[in-house]
Chain A
Amino acid sequence: MSRPILQLDALRMVYNADPGILARLSGRADPPVIAADDVSLDLHPGQTLAVVGESGSGKTTAGRIATLQERPTAGRVLYEGEDVTALTGAALKAFRAKVQMIFQNPYDALNPRLTVGQSLAEPLTLHGLVPRAGLRAAVIEMLEAVELRPAESFADAFPSELSGGQLQRIAIARALIIKPRVVIADEPVSMLDVSIRSGVMNLMRGIQRDTGVTYLYITHDLSVARYMADRIAVMYLGAVLEEGPAETLISRAAHPYTRLLIQAVPEHRASATRRTRIRLPGDAASQAGLPSGCRFHPRCPLAQPICREKAPPLAPVGAAHRAACHFADDVQTHGLGAATAATA
């Protein structure tokens, strides 16, 4: 496998670690929140890694750290093997030219007081990549690339005149206009209508084919992850529970959480028949007050006494496939039916 272009190495992110004396005295201190706990992820050039998780899983935090919008409490970010975690000033700016970000909410993505053209030209101006005279041409070219035609009229439009799908295409254009090598996309289609979503996803795939850009694609939807990604990492309460090649992870999932996520995806193409559901014991957990042992055990249908006591490590379960479950092998072979196998 090629050398990773961007690596997150043993990231740890704790919010509210130090609530301050006054808050502690009054008993009003917010408990510390562990948003990322020993998260390691590798991005390989030209490929897509999808990070899948529900709200509070730490997937967005991972993305924000990867773009150095936030600095981790511990751990490193490596770009082409070099530690960039503490970059500032010009070096940080140079890093930003290489690693760009696409955000979730397209309706808020553009400054309402600037035209689309002005917003698109901004990154170019900031990085001094194109002379003033060439800005317009570069903007038009980029608008064409995201299939917004006629590009001229889109360049002069204000954001309030455009639809969600169009705005997200412009947001993608803004991230790509300075030709970054890595793009972190945080749920770029989750706020769009279904029929518009696929267009944006296809656009991103097409651009990757043409330019070889690397994506870190953050999503809550496993089927979107499969469509977009070469590899998938499943996160839960700040930790990676399972990671592997997209197809393998879905067909041979080794973590009960991944299995449950797969079951929960409404599969409409298959016949619309009733599925048997496992009623989960616990409710959605929160990052504050992490459970002991395996962080998933309160909701896990297969939980055993050991799960309450000992946190399972993220261990290999196949080629380039890792999972953090004491019963990973059982789950991989028997699925959620492994309950019987484990207790037997």
Chain B
Amino acid sequence: MTPTAAKTLRATVASVPGALSLAVFLVICATALAAPILGLPDPADMAFALYQPPSAEHWLGTDNFGRDILSRVVWGAQVALTVAVGAALLSILIGSALGAIAGYFGGWVDGLLSRVFDIFLLIPTFFLILLIVALFGASLPLTIVAIALTTWPRSARLMRSQVLTLKSRVYVQAALAAGAPHWWVIVRHVIPNGIAPIITDGTILMGMAILTEAGLSFLGLGDQNLVSWGSMIFEGQRHLRLAPWMSIAPGVALLLLVASLNLLGDSINFAMNPQLRTRGGAPKRRATTAPPAGETAPAADTPILEVDDLRLVYHAGARRIAAVDGVSFTLPRGGSLGIVGESGCGKSSLGSALLQTMPNNAELTSGTIRFDGRAIVLGGKPVVENGRSRIDALRWTRMATIFQSAMNALNPVTTVRRQMMDALRLHKPGISREEATARIAEVFAMIGIPASRMNAYPHQLSGGMRQRAMIALSLILEPELVIADEPTTALDMLIQDQILGEIADLRERLNLSLILVSHDMGAVAESCDVVAVMYAGRIVEIAPTQRIFGNPAHPYTRTLIGALPSLTGPLEELESLPATDTAAAAAATGCRFAHACPAATDLCRRAAPPAVPLGAGHVSECHYAEDFAAEPSSEPHAAPAAAKEARA
């Protein structure tokens, strides 16, 4: 068993509904299989008194012919399971074969087959089965075939979409490019990776088949020679007043079996995609705190933003991941700070903490955030004043954000203009339509969106225009501080450059304070006065932009700068880190970067480095910061002399 399958099984059994439904299902299966050896009376034997209510002798009573109902329910389980397994298997076999062919080969084959699947979806299947059984006469095999004939398109569509996704997966492409024949790719790569959802859906199919058979039997179209729960209810209906137990028992059995199958399918699905259970949701109610005493009114030189010892933890199951691990910085009014780091370093989490838009599984465990001298977060808790959270009072009017990937950050079913209008009216309820429209036009002109695109939906705009619309939305209420989280990722080079230019221009023109989060040193270089480099949840170096490029005092910063090829400088071998995982680094004692650092010494592995002030706002968390700072950045490979000595 591969690790995924084992994990899925474990996760399924770990959930209450999963364990319960699996147990019920297994008990029913076992009972059905053991029917002949349970010592029950013959289900067809009319040996007992008629209409006996449940008693010690007949646990579920007897029916209108004096047959033992318990025995009939147990034997009925065999029929139900036969129908379920037979119809589901047949349906999956036909469906996945045709679905796989349609998805894998595409073109006109797919066109034709998909049409057929769609047509079947539109046929009211129950009536078709009913018609088939009515015309051909009732028998169990026919019922099974009829059910499978009407449900296979469901499996086919599922398989087709699986295969379509898998076909574009890199490992499938790579196998084909390596010269693998189609059958090899299908057997080795496509089916093993695509079958899981189809098996899961099989449980749902089984439930559907059982209910369909029961429905047919209830309409009198069941196989007369077999004991089926549906036909038991059919018979029980006529004696409902006299012997209600005749209909209750088989119904409960049906409900238990079908519900256990459906719940099982649902649990497996959740086990395979755990995010389905917990994603989304309303913002969690968090503990709040009162404003601190003795706050002074902001002065002209009060920094727009002060962050002190901020810590943000993600809860993933039982694990706690410290994404932001003690970050402090100060942003003067009108200043701009670039936060640079690689994936998983905590830069986006930091950005989301500033506006309090983090997901529910994230929690601030400590730290203070002050906006214009007033605390909005204190000890990790949002500050509430007069029943309203202070951050809510700042939102968009004084502090706005430009999100990553504007494709999804704008509401897809509303025009861009309407979204701006809504934001304006929310915060300026009295604004007239004309004023609002004028303001929107003004912002659009400022950011370079042609007026003709105002009424476009987000999907009608190109990537660059969408990102511009996002920027326009963030500026609509003239905020003082804008936090831009990777505003140009996924855009083409020229557009990226243009938009970074727009942001830098706007900052100057509007005297904005700006925090620019990016993975790209180059992107922040131009628009930011100060650059902070984050690694494993901490700011490891912060300095005025010129200094951080001229005299980087942290080996990680040096790697980031040295790892980028130059277009104009001399061609030299690039710096690189060993192929290790950065995420694991945070857990280590000592310096977080020691495991990958080319200049690491025993001291680095033993003790966490202090924040070393280097003057002019330059701080580096490295034991050898002063030595690094003393050496110009043109020799990226060289470790400072002191570190070399320590290693020797």
Q: Do chains A and B touch in the complex (CB under 8 A)?
A: yes
**Contact (A195, B579) CB under 8 Å given A271-B546, A284-B464:** no
Question: In chain A, what residue has the closest Cβ to B184?
Answer: A126
Residue of A104, A166, A227, A250 most packed against chain B (CB within 10 A): A227
**Distance A246 CA – B41 CA, assembled complex (angstroms):** 90
User: Would you give the shortest CB distance from A238 to chain B, in whole angstroms?
Assistant: 15
**Contact (A269, B549) CB under 8 Å given A54-B494, A194-B342, A202-B576:** yes
Say yes or no for A111: interface residue by CB 8 A criterion: yes
Say yes or no for A45: interface residue by CB 8 A criterion: no
Say yes or no for B173: interface residue by CB 8 A criterion: yes
Interface string of A262-279 (1 = CB under 8 A from B): 111111111111110101
Question: In chain B, what residue has the closest Cβ to A115?
Answer: B2
Interface contact A194-B563, CB-CB below 8 Å: yes
Say yes or no for A83: interface residue by CB 8 A criterion: no
Interface contact A112-B494, CB-CB below 8 Å: no
Q: List residues of chain B with CB within 8 A of the CB of A299.
A: 494
Interface contact A197-B563, CB-CB below 8 Å: yes
Say yes or no for B294: interface residue by CB 8 A criterion: no
**Contact (A103, B498) CB under 8 Å given A202-B576, A272-B526:** no
Q: List residues of chain B with CB within 8 A of the CB of A82.
A: none
Interface string of A258-302 (1 = CB under 8 A from B): 001111111111111111010110011010000000000001000
Stretch from B20-28, B278-286, B310-318, B514-522 forming part of the interface with A: B514-522
Interface contact A267-B579, CB-CB below 8 Å: no
User: Would you give the shortest CB distance from A96 to chain B, in whole angstroms?
Assistant: 4
Interface contact A194-B560, CB-CB below 8 Å: yes
User: Would you give the shortest CB distance from B184 to chain A, in whole angstroms?
Assistant: 7
Q: List residues of chain A with CB within 8 A of the CB of B188.
A: 111, 122
Interface string of B295-331 (1 = CB under 8 A from A): 0000000000000000000000000000000000000
Q: List residues of chain A with CB within 8 A of the CB of B495.
A: 283-284
**Contact (A274, B526) CB under 8 Å given A126-B178, A227-B571:** yes
Interface contact B179-A126, CB-CB below 8 Å: yes
Interface string of A315-338 (1 = CB under 8 A from B): 000000000000000000000000
Interface contact B569-A269, CB-CB below 8 Å: yes
User: Would you give the shortest CB distance from A162 to chain B, in whole angstroms?
Assistant: 8
Say yes or no for B462: interface residue by CB 8 A criterion: yes
Residue of B175, B189, B462, B525 most packed against chain A (CB within 10 A): B525
Partner of A277 from the list B501, B520, B525, B567 (CB cut-off 8 Å) is B501
Interface contact B576-A199, CB-CB below 8 Å: yes
Interface contact B579-A123, CB-CB below 8 Å: no
Q: List residues of chain B with CB within 8 A of the CB of A266.
A: 497, 500, 520-523, 525-526
Interface contact B184-A260, CB-CB below 8 Å: no
| Contacting residues of chain B (471-510) with chain A, CB-CB under 8 angstroms | 492-498, 500-501, 504
Residue of A126, A195, A279 most packed against chain B (CB within 10 A): A195
Interface contact B578-A199, CB-CB below 8 Å: yes
Partner of B568 from the list A96, A165, A174, A270 (CB cut-off 8 Å) is A270
User: Would you give the shortest CB distance from A105 to chain B, in whole angstroms?
Assistant: 5
Interface contact B171-A110, CB-CB below 8 Å: yes
Partner of A263 from the list B497, B563, B575 (CB cut-off 8 Å) is B497
**Contact (A112, B4) CB under 8 Å given A123-B179, A264-B493:** yes
**Distance A127 CA – B500 CA, assembled complex (angstroms):** 49
**Distance A163 CA – B178 CA, assembled complex (angstroms):** 23
Interface contact A267-B179, CB-CB below 8 Å: no
Interface contact A123-B178, CB-CB below 8 Å: yes
Interface contact B184-A199, CB-CB below 8 Å: no
**Distance A274 CA – B546 CA, assembled complex (angstroms):** 12
User: Would you give the shortest CB distance from A264 to chain B, in whole angstroms?
Assistant: 4
Q: List residues of chain B with CB within 8 A of the CB of A223.
A: 564-567
Q: List residues of chain B with CB within 8 A of the CB of A119.
A: 171
**Distance A247 CA – B383 CA, assembled complex (angstroms):** 58
Q: List residues of chain B with CB within 8 A of the CB of A283.
A: 462, 464-465, 495
Say yes or no for A210: interface residue by CB 8 A criterion: no
Interface string of B179-195 (1 = CB under 8 A from A): 11000100011001100
Q: List residues of chain A with CB within 8 A of the CB of B462.
A: 283-284, 286
Say yes or no for A33: interface residue by CB 8 A criterion: no
Say yes or no for A86: interface residue by CB 8 A criterion: no
Interface contact A274-B504, CB-CB below 8 Å: yes
Interface contact B178-A100, CB-CB below 8 Å: yes
Partner of B574 from the list A110, A202, A271 (CB cut-off 8 Å) is A202
Interface contact B579-A250, CB-CB below 8 Å: no
User: Would you give the shortest CB distance from A169 to chain B, in whole angstroms?
Assistant: 6
**Contact (A158, B574) CB under 8 Å given A198-B563, A283-B465, A284-B463:** no
Interface contact B519-A194, CB-CB below 8 Å: yes
Interface contact A280-B579, CB-CB below 8 Å: no
Interface contact B521-A268, CB-CB below 8 Å: yes
Interface contact B579-A275, CB-CB below 8 Å: no
Interface contact A174-B566, CB-CB below 8 Å: no
Q: List residues of chain A with CB within 8 A of the CB of B192.
A: 111, 113
Interface contact A113-B193, CB-CB below 8 Å: yes
**Distance A35 CA – B498 CA, assembled complex (angstroms):** 25
**Distance A195 CA – B598 CA, assembled complex (angstroms):** 13
Q: List residues of chain A with CB within 8 A of the CB of B178.
A: 96, 100, 122-123, 126, 174, 178
User: Would you give the shortest CB distance from B324 to chain A, in whole angstroms?
Assistant: 18
Interface contact A166-B579, CB-CB below 8 Å: yes
Q: List residues of chain A with CB within 8 A of the CB of B561.
A: 268-269
**Distance A250 CA – B497 CA, assembled complex (angstroms):** 18
Interface contact A264-B496, CB-CB below 8 Å: yes
Q: List residues of chain B with CB within 8 A of the CB of A109.
A: 170-171, 174
Interface contact A198-B575, CB-CB below 8 Å: yes
Interface contact A193-B343, CB-CB below 8 Å: yes
| Given A111-B193, A194-B519; 19 other pairs, CB 8 A cutoff | A55-B492, A69-B177, A103-B173, A105-B170, A108-B171, A112-B2, A122-B175, A174-B174, A193-B343, A194-B521, A198-B564, A199-B576, A201-B574, A264-B494, A264-B496, A266-B525, A268-B564, A272-B525, A283-B464
Chosen A-B contacts, 18 in total, with CB atoms closer than 8 Å, are A67-B177, A96-B177, A96-B179, A101-B173, A104-B170, A108-B169, A194-B521, A195-B342, A195-B559, A195-B563, A198-B563, A198-B575, A199-B579, A201-B565, A250-B568, A266-B521, A266-B523, A272-B526
Task: Return the 4 tightest CB-CB contacts between A and B, nearest first.
Answer: A266-B522, A199-B576, A264-B497, A227-B565
List residues of A whose CB falls within 8 A of some B CB.
Answer: 54-55, 67, 69, 92-93, 96-97, 100-101, 103-105, 108-113, 119, 122-123, 126-127, 147-148, 158, 160, 163, 165-166, 169, 171, 174-175, 178, 193-199, 201-202, 220-224, 226-227, 250, 260-275, 277, 279-280, 283-284, 286, 299
List residues of B whose CB falls within 8 A of some A CB.
Answer: 2-4, 169-171, 173-180, 184, 188-189, 192-193, 342-343, 448, 462-465, 492-498, 500-501, 504, 519-523, 525-526, 545-546, 549-550, 556, 559-569, 571, 573-583, 596
